[in-house]
Amino acid sequence: MSHIDQIKSKPNLTSDLSSPETSPSRTNLPETGTLSSSSGENVYLRNYHTLGRADNCHTHLPASSVSRLHAIIFWQDNTWYIEDKSTNGVWVNEHKLQTGRPHALNKYDTIIFSSKDVGLFTLTNNTSPQDLLIPVDLNQPLTPICLDKPIHALSEVSTLLWREGSWVWVDNETLPNEKRVLDGDIIRVGKHEYRMQFNQMSSNTSQYLPVAQTLEDLTFQLNVSNDEEDIQLYIMDGVQTAEIKGYRIQSQLYLLLYLARQAVYDKQQGYAENQRGWVDLSKLSKDLGIETENTRIRLHRLRSRIRDVVSFSNLDVCQLLQLQNGEVRLNTSNILIYKGQQYESQNGIHRLL
């Protein structure tokens, strides 16, 4: 499966939108894929780079017209591609892109996300993505450091070693032992601090979004604790797996669990596919102990969560979580529910993640 068909997912990342050094010129920027904005900032592109309003996007674009996941930019076959994932659109050289279809970028192409109010971005460097050390103090006239594998000397006493899929920091003055450096970690080089940014893809760290061209391409696995206080969702396409979990979204996952159980029950009862899983919205709200409007809000947020971690092609998450005529359902038969490590339902044979 190509990179166009496999999309990386990585939650809880901070913005990679960083200011360049004072009075920058194109010659002093690092040799790595770079977007330069009309406001004078540089975005150093990862192998797979997300841009949008969501806090976990690599580049955070806070405008209200920007979608949670507005676009992805990725490196494949020595070319940068951009793909529109938004509601309000992406323009390259003033031509609107077709949603969900990757578009090859050329050097100095201009990009608009949603509107010109968000800013105009230019691909000022179209070379391959490189791991970087980015200056923490943006007021200092410092250039990001491109890291050379397998050894990159930072100073006479400080070195970064590429070992078994990760960087290891050796500093004879400040570190008693070697230290593995993770994405986002801070490294001091002389008097200055730098933040590690992993831009390249390695087999140990890469993850991709599942891809769905039809609803049957996806399997939904719900791992539920015995007291049903903790629910984890795994979405699989047979190759890649995306994970949705966390305390703050348990109410949304419990709604999904409710709908999943109804869909499984109706299948077991032999209902036709177009009749399975439907639940009256008012009954669902009553069983959840919330107002109907709150149920609609949870459903909308759950759709957004799933849309963020699945690459849908030729369909939308609204076809998966359907709401029509006052009824709602999870429109799939590929559902696995595990409660306390035991099968509660099983359609096919899968291992517990």
Confidence at 204, pLDDT banded by 50, 70, 90: very low
What percentage of the chain carries pLDDT values higher than 90? 42
Quote the number of domains for the chain.
Answer: 3
pLDDT at residue 222 is higher than 80: yes
Q: What is the pTM of this model?
A: 0.55
273 part of a folded domain: yes
Residue 37 to residue 123: CA distance in whole angstroms: 9
Q: Are 89 and 168 found together in one domain?
A: no
Task: Please say which residue of 93, 125, 157 terminates a domain.
Answer: 125
Mean pLDDT, rounded, for 321-330: 94
Instruction: List, in sequence order, every residue forming a beta bridge with 35; answer none if it has no partner.
Output: 43, 123
Q: Indicate the average pLDDT of the chain.
A: 82
351 part of a folded domain: no
> In the chain, which residue ranges form alpha helices assigned H by DSSP?
250-268, 281-288, 292-309, 317-320
Domain extent at residue 74:
17-125
What CATH number is attached to the domain comprising 45?
Answer: 2.60.200.20
pLDDT at residue 220 is higher than 90: yes
Q: Are 73 and 164 found together in one domain?
A: no
Q: Are 95 and 80 found together in one domain?
A: yes
292: helix, strand or coil: helix
7 part of a folded domain: no
338-345 long-range contacts, CB within 8 A, separation 24+: 338/221, 338/222, 338/223, 338/224, 339/224, 339/225, 339/226, 339/228, 340/224, 340/225, 340/226, 344/224, 345/261, 345/264
Q: Are 110 and 42 found together in one domain?
A: yes
9 part of a folded domain: no
pLDDT at residue 348 is higher than 70: no
Task: Please say which residue of 166, 197, 228 terminates a domain.
Answer: 197
pLDDT of residue 200: 67
pLDDT of residue 92: 96
Q: What is the pLDDT of residues 250-285, one digit of tens each?
A: 999 999 999 999 999 999 999 999 999 999 999 999
10 part of a folded domain: no
Task: Please say which residue of 70, 90, 125 terminates a domain.
Answer: 125
Distances (CA, A) of 286 to 107, 248, 275: 56, 21, 22
Mean pLDDT, rounded, for 91-115: 93
Give the closest residue to 296 by CA, choosing from 281, 280, 279, 318: 281
